[in-house]
Amino acid sequence: MKQNPLPELWKQDRTAYTCWLSIPGSWSAEVMAHAGFDAVVVDLQHGLAGNDAMLAMLQAIGTTAAAPIVRVPWNEPSAVMRALDAGAYGIICPMVNTRAQCEALVAACRFPPEGSRSFGPTRSLVSIGPDYLSRSRSFALAFAMIETAEALANLDAIAGVPGLDGLFIGPWDLSLALGIQRAGNLADPAMVEACDRILAAARKHGLVAGIYADSAAQGRPLAARGFRLVNVATDTMLLQRGAEAELAQARA
């Protein structure tokens, strides 16, 4: 039977490095997953994939040891349940601003009596195993994105929701919400303070702290600070950077 490798990594206090997928396609997803990332995130919020592409991408990621995660488009129960039924090992949910919204996210990830998830893990019963129901807790990780001033104000209440697995920082939206002049600037003092607050809340409540970075150079210091789910690449950005670098070398 398959195991979700992420909880074991975190038990060892190790960081899981991820790649974000915005290109809708099984082939690019398979290539990125084979690169050796601990987890690969299918982005349904700002990426270009829909539900049909998501299924093919999860199947492609499943040819590797990487844990497939889905960022759902919004905190909506059917989107969460559909991704988990299709074989996602975890959910990253955007714009979780209140305790009630976080409770709704967790409920959608948990079967009764712990939650309200409807039974129908069509692909998960095949891709993970026929005992999926009894082991679903470790294959339905719930991460709430903290990316607004309201979420920061409600941080302790959100982090205290039973069944939540982690807090995930969306630095672009959070920096905009904090009025930071250069969006996504993790070095801005206000962002440093906000990240430290989120890290502290995660530690207090026994949660995994995650964050989006766009490179290894940006991600490694974040891991050293205590973030244990760190994105360090995106498929689109790698494609752009690689193409531009090769063309520049050719023209030089």
The residues annotated as belonging to the active site are 46
CA 215 to chain centre: 16
Do residues 80 and 109 make contact, with C-beta atoms less than 8 angstroms apart? yes
CA 95 to chain centre: 13
Measured distance CA(239)–CA(130) in Å, rounded: 38
Give the DSSP letter of residue 188. S
- Dihedral (CA of 103, 108, 111, 112) sign: positive
Which residue has tokens 């760190």? Answer: 230
